[in-house]
Amino acid sequence: MEKIVESQARPAEKIGIIDLGSNSARLVIVQLFGENHFMVEDELKESVRLW
């Protein structure tokens, strides 16, 4: 079994997800770990109105 040295490990990636609906806009910032894990770092939700 090979041990991964921290300097060789891939850093976690951060992405932002934008959800625009007819009544609200939402931004979620997540940090990705591997293929199936993530952690929500921040969220912002605002009410919007389409004309």
Our measurement of the distance from residue 29's CA atom to the centroid of its chain's CA atoms, rounded to an integer in Å, reads 4
How many domains is the chain built from? 1
Residues in the chain: 51
* Residue linked to tokens 């109105």: 49
Q: What is the pLDDT of residues 7-36, one digit of tens each?
A: 455 667 999 999 999 899 999 999 998 878
Domain encompassing residue 29: 1-51
Q: What is the pLDDT of residue 35?
A: 79
Binned at pLDDT 50, 70 and 90, residue 2 comes out as low
Please calculate the CA angle 33-44-47 and round it to the nearest 5 degrees. Answer: 145
Give the span between the Cα atoms of 38 and 30, in whole angstroms. 6
Q: Judge if pTM exceeds 0.75.
A: no
- pLDDT surpasses 70 at 49: yes
Task: Cite the DSSP H helix spans in 1-51.
Answer: none
